[in-house]
């Protein structure tokens, strides 16, 4: 598909990096403010989708299959499962235990393992929403040919 007009392209060049940064901020402060893994992941995916929509698929050289984003999605989920199973090794030996020492409430590095879960769930959600979008766009191109 073709890209959009030059006003949209210039605005996207200015804003896409800031949207990405905002997504990372929401993910990392997930245990202090509302948001967390899922909402931050959607915003991260939003910045990529904005660039694809604004510049068009010929410019960004979309491939026939969405292999790259699928790889990140699967790796992130395996890391989340591995972190959950690692609770079986320490302390009480249950699934999903919060075994990292918890600091004082209100700091960024506190609440044990929650920031780690938030980060990996954020990567996973961003990759999977990007995969859904790419699958639909690539399929639409096949129809219109």
Partner 1 sequence: MTVYLLCFILFLVGLYGVITRRNLIKIAISLSIMEFSSFLFFALIGFVDGGVAPIVDPADPLKTYVDPLPQALVLTAIVIGLATTAMLMAVIIRIYRKYKTFDIREISNLRG
Partner 2 sequence: MNPLIPLFVVVPLAGAFLIMILGRFIRDFHKYFTSLVLLFLVILSFYSLFNSDGNVSVYKVGGWEPVNRIPIGIYMVMDGFTLILLCIVNLIGFLSVFYSISYISRYTSENFFYALFCLMIAGMNGVVLSGDIFNIFVFLEISAISSYALVAFGVEKNELEATFKYQVLGGLASFMILFGIGFIYWKTKTLNIADIKTALGTGNDKYYYLFVQILILSGFGLKAAIIPFHAWLPDAHSSAPSPISAMLSGVLIKAVGIYVIFRLFFNMFILTEAMAVLITTLGTLSMVVGVFLAIGQWDIKRLLAYHSISQMGYVVMSVGIGMILISRGVNDKIATLAVAGGLFHLINHAAFKGLLFLNAGAIEYSTGTRDLKEMGGLSRSMPFTSATSFIASLSISGVPPFNGFFSKLIIIIAAIMAKFYLLAALAVIVSIITLASFLKFQRYAFYNKTQEKVKGDIKEVPFPMIFSMVILSVMCLLLSLLAFPGIREAVLSPAIEILTDPGRYSFQIIGF
Minimum distance of partner 1 from residue 135's CB (angstroms): 7
Tell me if 54 sits within 8 A of 4, measured CB to CB: yes
- Using CB under 8 A as the binding rule, whether residue 139 contacts partner 2 is answered as no
The option from partner 1, partner 2, none interacting with 88 (CB < 5 to 8 A, set by class) reads partner 2
CA-closest candidate to residue 8, choices 41, 67, 50:
50
Question: Nearest 5°: CA angle at 68, between 66 and 69?
Answer: 80
What six digits make up the tokens of 7?
């006003």
Please, what is the minimum distance in Å from the beta carbon of residue 68 to partner 1? 19
- Contact residues for partner 1 (CB under 8 A)? 32-34, 36, 38, 104-106, 132, 135-136, 139-140, 143
The helix/strand/coil state of 123 is helix
Q: Are 116 and 83 spatial neighbours (Cβ–Cβ below 8 Å)?
A: yes
102 contacts partner 2 (rule: CB under 8 A): no
Give the DSSP letter of residue 78.
H
Identify the residue among 18, 21, 63, 88 touching partner 2 (CB under 8 A): 88
Interface residues with partner 2 (CB under 8 A) are: 67, 70-71, 74-75, 77-78, 81, 84-85, 87-88, 91-98
């Amino acid at each position: 598909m073709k890209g959009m007009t030059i006003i949209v392209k210039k605005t996207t060049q200015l804003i896409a990096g800031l949207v990405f940064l905002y997504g990372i901020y929401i993910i990392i402060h997930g245990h202090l403010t509302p948001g967390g893994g899922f909402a931050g992941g959607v915003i991260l995916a939003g910045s990529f989708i904005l660039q694809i929509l604004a510049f068009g698929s010929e410019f960004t050289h979309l491939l026939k299959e969405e292999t790259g984003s699928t790889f990140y999605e699967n790796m992130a989920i395996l890391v989340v499962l591995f972190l959950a199973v690692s609770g079986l090794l320490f302390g009480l030996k249950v699934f999903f235990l919060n075994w990292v020492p918890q600091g004082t409430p209100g700091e960024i590095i506190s609440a044990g393992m929650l920031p780690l879960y938030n980060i990996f769930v954020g990567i996973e959600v961003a990759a999977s929403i990007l995969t859904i979008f790419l699958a639909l766009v690539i399929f639409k191109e096949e129809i219109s040919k």
